[in-house]
Amino acid sequence: MGCFVTVQYTPVNTDGERGPTVSEAAAARVEEGIPVVSELKIVGTFEEGQTVHVDAWYCGGQQGDSDITWLAVAEKEAEEQDVIELASSASRELKIPFVAIGRVLEVRAATLEPVSSRRVRKNCFCSRAANVVAF
């Protein structure tokens, strides 16, 4: 951020002869984009007492704390009470508790963007692990 993008182009023909290099710089500096997180994955061993973590792709300037919510969801999510919130913080790691056994782990991440003195929730993404937590 704050830099100028510059490109240099040196033409070369099929005989390998080089022409003069031409340079061009952008008129504006690179600015921060809107915070976005995607490609969330839960990585680790899905057993009680094990620690799993979130792997994600982030874009939008210097990364700060994002809202991360860890859930344990019944395999057949029929009703809302079949969801147990395990943790809600900026922690990218979770030690799997006993109450998650037999459930699917889910993680939700929301990027935050400062607006005045408040933090405003922006893009929210969700990832569900394919594995059920075992004993």
Tell me the domain boundaries of the chain.
36-132
Q: In sequence order, what are the beta bridge partners of 113?
A: 120
pTM of the model: 0.63
Report the side by side order of strands in the sheet with 83-89.
83-89, 67-73, 104-115, 118-132
Q: Mapping DSSP to helix (H, G, I), strand (E, B) and coil, where does residue 100 land?
A: helix
Nearest to 72 by CA among 135, 126, 128: 128
Distance CA 58, CA 111 (A): 9
Q: Where are the alpha helices (DSSP H) in 1-135?
A: none
Q: Mapping DSSP to helix (H, G, I), strand (E, B) and coil, where does residue 61 land?
A: coil
pLDDT of 102: 87
Distance CA 40, CA 125 (A): 7
What's the CATH number of domain 36-132, 2.40.50.100, 3.40.1110.10, 2.60.40.2700, 2.60.120.200? 2.60.40.2700
Ranges of beta strands (E only) in 19-96 are 22-29, 36-43, 51-59, 67-73, 83-89, 93-95
Q: pLDDT per position in the chain (135 positions), as tens?
A: 778 899 999 999 999 999 999 999 998 988 877 777 777 888 899 889 999 998 887 777 676 667 788 888 887 655 555 888 888 877 889 999 999 988 888 888 776 555 444 555 555 566 666 567 776
